[in-house]
Amino acid sequence: FDELILFAFTVFIFFVGCCVLPSAHFVLGVMLFPGCVFGGGVEVGAYCELRSHVVLEPFTRLGRSCLIHAHAVLGADGFGFFPLENGMPLKIPQIGRVVIGDEVELGAMVTVDRATLKTTSIGEGTKMDNHVHIGHNSQIGRFGLFAAGFMCAGSVKIGDYFRCGGDVVVADHVSICDHVTVGGRSAVTKDITVPGAYLGYPLEPWHQGLRNLQQLTHLTEMRKELNRLKKRLD
């Protein structure tokens, strides 16, 4: 009887402004808010909740108990181009997919690009704030916490238990090991192979980065003092 109630509720939600292609696959207990769009071959696991106007492009797969907030787009084309001799960028077809693990939460306006050939993935238990962008071919580990404004370019690999503040940027083809924390507005341009906390641009270990930030506030006074000393020596 409980399964019949869940099935009836799911079917009811389908008809409130959602567009679902016949080849999409859903199980019992999925909650869809108005305006969701699902391409062919989409798979949505049990007890997922998708808020208004979520878009799942073809062959995207969600694990069970995922929460996807409004206007998230999973599986859009990755940003891949090849310059021709005349400088015109030639689009590289993006024919991979996006796979999301169990119990993942993605905030409003999150975008996850599908891979060029294989899979862009987000591991189980990971939570992302609003306005996060994951580039194509990237592999995001388990149980991460990503604050608003995080962006990573294509082919990034991030390990388990990653933590970051807002507006962190990761360059393409960078690998980050497990148990790494990155402070807000930092930029990761090289591999991180040692667990720990990091900060700044260029990226430094946390305490060293804090010392350098404190010194920046005194640079103007230091330059004035240096100029005074030069005049005395002259």
Catalytic residue ranges: 136
Q: Are 96 and 118 in contact (CB under 8 A)?
A: yes
Can you tell me the distance from the alpha carbon of 131 to that of 125, in angstroms, rounded to the nearest whole number? Answer: 18
- Pull the structure tokens for residue 81: 């181009």
| Pairing relationship of beta strands 81-83 and 89-91 according to DSSP bridges | antiparallel
Instruction: Tell me 31's DSSP state.
Output: E
Q: Are 144 and 124 in contact (CB under 8 A)?
A: no
- Pull the structure tokens for residue 36: 């969701």
Phi, psi torsion values for 222, nearest 5 degrees = -65, -40
